[in-house]
């Protein structure tokens, strides 16, 4: 079974990371607070600075704004997301903008089944969809497609963001624990993640990792 047919390797939506909720929003339900209609400014800065290199994977790419921006910088870009309606939106944007980006319906915890390698992975709001017990499988999946020296750039909600609704709040130690084996954490800093609701940003972490 292939992601290009619009199905996940499991033949349906994966469970546990809220994909059914994301899918409903991409299919038209209002209130998609993460959908800002443009790429994340912090990621744009990374692209402009030349930090993103080689074959790039946007994991949990949603409706594609970050992947499309990366492709505009001339990089070979693949976006994967388990929500078929998100991928449909992303493909439509790519067509409308005349951009050559490959968008696949794919479960981010089953990346090895793609049979490919990526020099750079970007993650905006994907890691924080996973509960602590599910993170080791996710990090193994990432590690299997990133060769030694490859980079992983992460943006996720922080435990400094008050309240309980929305994604998992991630602590600095959550990130260091999840990437303790097989990765070097190069930088891990408080950041603002842009969102589609007031006041326009939430407290986040921005991290850069290298596969070792
Ligand atoms: C908060 S949204 C962020 C989307 C996009 N990166 C952005 O910045 O707009 C999280 C995304 O992760 C996707 N996702 C959640 N679990 C997934 C899984 N197991 N495999 C692939 N994508 C998944 C959701 O469908 C959703 O599009």
1 burial via Cβ count (<10 Å: 0-12, 13-18, 19+)? exposed
Mutational test site, ligand 1, from 6, 41, 60, 193, max ligand atoms within 8 Å of CB: 60
Q: What does the alpha-carbon distance between residue 89 and residue 10 come to, in Å, rounded to a whole number?
A: 21
Quote the ligand 1 centre to 102 CA distance (angstroms): 16
Q: What does the alpha-carbon distance between residue 1 and residue 3 come to, in Å, rounded to a whole number?
A: 7
**Whose C-alpha lies nearest to ligand 1, atom 12?**
60
Q: What does the alpha-carbon distance between residue 206 and residue 198 come to, in Å, rounded to a whole number?
A: 21
Q: Is the CB of 154 under 6 A from ligand 1?
A: no
Helix (H, G, I), strand (E, B) or coil at 202: strand
Cis peptide before 199 (omega within 30 of 0): yes
**Whose C-alpha lies nearest to ligand 1, atom 27?**
62
Quote the ligand 1 centre to 129 CA distance (angstroms): 7
Q: Quick check: 90 and 62 in contact, CB under 8 A?
A: yes
**Whose C-alpha lies nearest to ligand 1, atom 17?**
82
Nearest to 207 by CA among 158, 161, 168, 160: 158
Q: Quick check: 65 and 41 in contact, CB under 8 A?
A: no
Domains delineated in the chain:
19-211 (3.40.50.150)
Q: Is the CB of 66 under 6 A from ligand 1?
A: yes
Q: Quick check: 62 and 91 in contact, CB under 8 A?
A: no
Question: Rounded to the nearest 10 degrees, what angle do helices 84-97 and 65-72 cross at?
Answer: 30
Tens-binned pLDDT, residue by residue, of the chain (212 aa): 233 334 455 567 988 889 999 999 999 999 899 999 999 999 999 999 999 999 999 999 999 999 999 999 999 999 999 999 999 999 999 999 999 999 999 999 999 999 999 999 999 999 999 999 999 999 999 999 999 999 999 999 999 999 988 999 999 999 999 999 999 999 999 999 999 999 999 999 999 999 99
pTM of the model: 0.95
Quote the ligand 1 centre to 187 CA distance (angstroms): 23
């Amino acid at each position: 079974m292939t992601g290009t047919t619009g199905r996940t390797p499991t033949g349906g939506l994966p469970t546990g990371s809220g994909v059914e909720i994301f899918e409903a929003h991409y299919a038209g339900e209002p209130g998609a607070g993460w959908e800002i209609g443009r790429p994340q400014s912090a990621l744009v800065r990374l692209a402009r600075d030349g930090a993103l290199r080689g074959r790039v994977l946007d994991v949990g790419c949603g409706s594609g704004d970050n992947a499309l921006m990366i492709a505009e910088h001339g990089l070979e870009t693949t976006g994967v997301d388990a929500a078929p309606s998100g991928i449909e939106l992303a493909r439509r944007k790519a067509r409308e903008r005349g951009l050559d980006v490959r968008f696949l319906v794919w479960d981010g915890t089953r990346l090895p089944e793609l049979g490919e390698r990526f020099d750079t992975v970007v993650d905006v709001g994907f890691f924080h969809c996973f509960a602590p017990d599910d993170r080791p499988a996710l990090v193994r999946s990432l590690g299997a497609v990133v060769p030694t020296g490859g980079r992983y750039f992460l943006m996720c909600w922080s435990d400094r963001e008050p309240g309980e609704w929305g994604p998992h709040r991630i602590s600095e130690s959550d990130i260091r624990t999840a990437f303790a084996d097989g990765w070097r954490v190069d930088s891990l800093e408080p950041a603002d993640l842009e969102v589609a609701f007031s006041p326009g940003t939430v407290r986040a972490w921005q991290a850069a990792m290298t596969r070792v």
